Amino acid sequence: MPLTTRLLCLLYSLDEPLTTRPGQNGAMSHSDRQTLRAADKISPAEQQELKSRTYALWTAWDSLDPSRVAEFYSKDPTDIYYDISPLKFRGSQQYADEVGKSLVGAHAKWSPNGDDFKAIKSGNLAMTTLTMNLAFTSKAGATTQMHVRVTDLCGKNRAASGWLFKSTPPFQAAEGR
């Protein structure tokens, strides 16, 4: 099983229990592997839904106002969010409170770098990746142009009837253009 699928399977247990059962020796049976693979296939509609949701999230972040992006994030206080400084936040509320203070007076604008959006899923969890161009203007007026890679983890939430972002790792500079 690919590493990303194993990672998502481990994370899947945060949302609801894995429905496949390991065989007697702790390994999954052929039937269980087929069931898991079928659940992992992402349909074109799900791919487009995740892409639209991800693009809407980053467009909302252009405001640098956490209240404008709150609808996109899981409200689970045990979810972990990362940023540049401080590095780690527990729950979207702490993330919004802390990051919101540091972004007052700054400006940002993002744009996709081509069409390299990709999503993979395992059950009710998905991982999305894309590269983007980001222009960030600090409160002092200095503008930084960045080419970054973003990877997000999303959970399918029945109550919210859609995908919610559960974890946001920090930006990473993308190589090349």
Per-residue pLDDT of the chain (177 residues; tens, 9 = 90+): 444 544 444 444 433 333 444 444 455 565 655 555 666 789 999 999 999 999 999 999 999 999 999 999 888 888 888 876 677 888 889 988 888 888 889 999 999 988 899 999 988 889 999 999 999 999 999 999 999 888 889 988 766 668 888 876 656 665 444
pTM for this prediction: 0.73
Residue 87 included in any domain: yes
pLDDT at 159: 67
pLDDT at 55: 94
Q: Which domain holds residue 129?
A: 43-173
Residue 64 included in any domain: yes
- The answer, yes or no, to whether the previous bond of 77 is cis (omega within 30 of 0) is no
Three-state secondary structure call for residue 110: strand
Look at the chain and report how many structural domains it folds into. 1
- The letter for the amino acid at 143 is T
Residue 97 included in any domain: yes
Residue 131 included in any domain: yes
Residue 19 included in any domain: no
Whole-angstrom distance, CA of residue 27 vs CA of residue 106 = 51
Residue 37 included in any domain: no
Which CATH number goes with the domain that contains 150?
3.10.450.50
